[in-house]
């Protein structure tokens, strides 16, 4: 993927994945891609996450990124595993600089004007808005985005199939993120594909 914008325009929803067993990686990725959600955010919250990235990359059509990337060391590990985009819950100068130097599409979490200004200083214009609902929801995003006409957002955190359309209707929102597509536990691939299909039909 060449840019964060390209990743964000693949589908209206980026599923946020917390995968506990690498054996689940391929069937979940296949179900998501079949349902119309090719951009997959594998969070680095489980011991097998890097192996999950490697496995999901074998699935045709999948564009696999790493989420919950907290520092340059984790960025390097994610890139080494083949991550094609990077998502973080927040923005630090160290991580931002490393991601820009690596040239990888990077969506850092922002929840206030200062975060966005730090990103702009680094040359970043595309952001996760996190935690979206807890930070004040759509009114908060509209107010924060107001001064930053160049900034685009992927709100994530507390968003559901029911609330996603309202978020997607906000001008600077290109897509949303959410974990509702793939519930915790033993994967039910037909349910995951149905969830993905419903999410892919939004907007």
We find the least distance from the C-beta atom of residue 22 to ligand 3PG, in angstroms, to be 20
End-to-end C-alpha distance for the chain, whole angstroms: 22
We find the least distance from the C-beta atom of residue 16 to ligand 3PG, in angstroms, to be 4
Examine the residue annotation and report whether 41 is marked as an active-site residue of this protein: yes
SS (H, E, C) the chain: CCCHHHHHCCCCEEEEECCCCHHHHHHHHHHHHHCCCCEEEEECCCCCHHHHHHHHCCCCCCEEEEECCCCHHHHHHHHHHCCCCEEECCCCHHHHHHHHHHCCCEEEEECCHHHHHHHHHHCCCEEEECCCCCCCHHHHHHHHHCCCCCCEEEEECCCCCCCHHHHHCCCCECCEEECCCCCCCCCCHHHHHHHHHHHHCCC
Q: For residues 58 and 160, which CB has a smaller minimum distance to ligand 3PG in the complex? A: 160
Q: For residues 30 and 43, which CB has a smaller minimum distance to ligand 3PG in the complex? A: 43
155 touches ligand 3PG by CB under 6 A: no
Which residues are registered as beta bridge partners of 108?
88
Applying the rule CB under 6 A, the residues between 159 and 198 that interact with ligand 3PG are: 159, 177-180
Examine the residue annotation and report whether 128 is marked as an active-site residue of this protein: yes
Catalytic annotation, pick one of 57, 84, 128, 152: 128
Catalytic annotation, pick one of 41, 74, 84, 193: 41
Residue in 156, 173, 174, 199 binding ligand 3PG, rule: CB under 6 A: 156
> Which x/- pattern over 6-45 shows residues binding ligand 3PG (rule: CB under 6 A)?
----------x--------------------------x--
CA angle 41, 47, 52 (to 5 degrees): 45
We find the least distance from the C-beta atom of residue 159 to ligand 3PG, in angstroms, to be 6
Applying the rule CB under 6 A, the residues between 98 and 137 that interact with ligand 3PG are: 130
Q: Catalytic amino acids?
A: 41, 128
Which residues contact ligand 3PG by CB under 6 A?
A: 16, 43, 67, 130, 156-159, 177-180
């Amino acid at each position: 993927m060449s840019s964060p914008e390209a990743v964000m325009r693949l589908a209206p929803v980026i599923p946020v994945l917390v995968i506990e067993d690498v054996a689940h990686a391929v069937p979940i990725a296949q179900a998501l891609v079949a349902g119309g959600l090719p951009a997959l955010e594998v969070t680095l919250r489980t011991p097998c996450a890097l192996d999950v990235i490697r496995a999901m990359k074998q699935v045709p059509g999948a564009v696999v990124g790493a989420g919950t990337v907290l520092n340059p060391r984790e960025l390097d590990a994610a890139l080494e595993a083949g991550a094609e985009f990077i998502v973080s819950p927040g923005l630090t100068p160290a991580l931002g600089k490393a991601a820009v130097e690596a040239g990888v599409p990077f969506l850092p979490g922002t929840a206030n004007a200062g975060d966005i200004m730090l990103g702009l200083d680094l040359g970043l214009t595309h952001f996760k808005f996190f935690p979206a609902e807890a930070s004040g929801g759509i009114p908060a995003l509209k107010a924060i985005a107001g001064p930053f006409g160049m900034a685009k957002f992927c709100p994530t955190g507390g968003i559901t199939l029911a609330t996603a359309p309202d978020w997607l209707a906000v001008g600077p929102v290109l897509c949303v993120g959410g974990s509702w597509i793939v519930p915790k536990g033993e994967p039910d691939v037909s349910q995951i594909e149905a969830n993905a299909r419903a999410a892919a039909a939004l907007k």
